Structure 1
């Protein structure tokens, strides 16, 4: 498959790029700092661009089969109004529509959308203080995706770690199961890469934890 990864230069995006290449996919790695990606592979195309710029995203979308969105913000941005997730998602959805690309896999996080109701009372106040602005925008991001008409899957990982890929994580599909926990970025990436060809979770928002 020809896969566009938006936010590919670090974190989950970089690990997803690595694992998608290992799985044999053609990967277009899109990020403002794409040139700094250290990976080399004949199936890897590094594209420098801004996820908020329509012309950049439109150009990156040409000829792809699947889009994986893995955007993040810096710690300092958490204490200012956050609009990156929703604004970039609007640009992406329009570009996907223009190119006829239907399959979208997106990372948000536990606490976004209707999973917010599953945050324990003990965790709710610190969560709101630190992550409230970002997750309000992630919730809007999720709503835009669900209303897009695309074949979407939303992954909501718990607290991210730098641990190894284990394959032993839990995929919590039912709201009654949702809870916080930890999970490595490598395991999140494994889940994302699996969804490139697996349609089991189309139109589902899932929580991922160990």
Structure 2
């Protein structure tokens, strides 16, 4: 079983990943500013309060872990202004991982980031850019920094996120010609992530996940 650092562990895909990883028997260090409030009880869970934008916090959180899951998000209200969280946090995480010798990174970005932007349908492009443009420009920078690293990375690009339990019935689209948008639950994204912790099929690849 692996010792995992989940960055952004208190909510969304990060929280679902913590639950799924614990259920699979992994040791989990749950990193978030509000980590103390994570409502889970498990002997393999370590709550680690810290700021993803603090190099010192990130370096401390990496001590002793074998792989990192990066799941960051910004509130809808912040999408109207400049967004730098994704790239700034990654610019701290990647060098810290390289320094610590932690090679495996699964980073959640989203369908429409990087070279998957060209796969957005014509009718979706204008509203997508209006609402998410600033965030996805920053996700582009995030992905670029990860690709330039020497890490064993996987870029995880889910479609439109929904609630609900994991079904295990989702598609892993790893060829650009197959990329498309669609719905997928946060729990199913977490299921994919946890399955990749001990696999190498998608190392140094970007995948789109849809149901």
Which of the five TM-score ranges fits, normalised by the shorter chain? over 0.9
| Paired position in structure 2 for 1:125 | 126
TM-score w.r.t. the length of structure 1 is 0.99
Q: Deviations over 1:163-210 (max 9, x none)?
A: 221101000000000000000000000001011101110010000001
| Paired position in structure 2 for 1:46 | 47
d(CA) in 2 for partners of 1:61, 1:9 = 17
| Paired position in structure 2 for 1:146 | 147
| Paired position in structure 2 for 1:9 | 10
Q: Which runs of 5+ in 2 are unaligned?
A: none
| Paired position in structure 1 for 2:77 | 76
Misfit runs of 4+, over 6 Å? none
- Which secondary structure state, in structure 2, belongs to the residue aligned with residue 81 of structure 1? coil
Q: Deviations over 1:76-130 (max 9, x none)?
A: 0111110000000010011101110000001000000000000011000000000
Q: Tell me how many residue pairs correspond in the alignment.
A: 210
| Paired position in structure 2 for 1:110 | 111
TM-score w.r.t. the length of structure 2 is 0.99
Root-mean-square deviation (CA, aligned residues, Å) is: 0.5
Q: Deviations over 1:131-172 (max 9, x none)?
A: 000000001100100001100001100000002211010000
d(CA) in 2 for partners of 1:107, 1:61 = 18
Q: Which runs of 5+ in 1 are unaligned?
A: none
| Paired position in structure 1 for 2:190 | 189
d(CA) in 2 for partners of 1:189, 1:33 = 20
d(CA) in 2 for partners of 1:77, 1:190 = 28
Counterparts of 1:29-68 in structure 2 under 5 Å?
Answer: 29-68=30-69
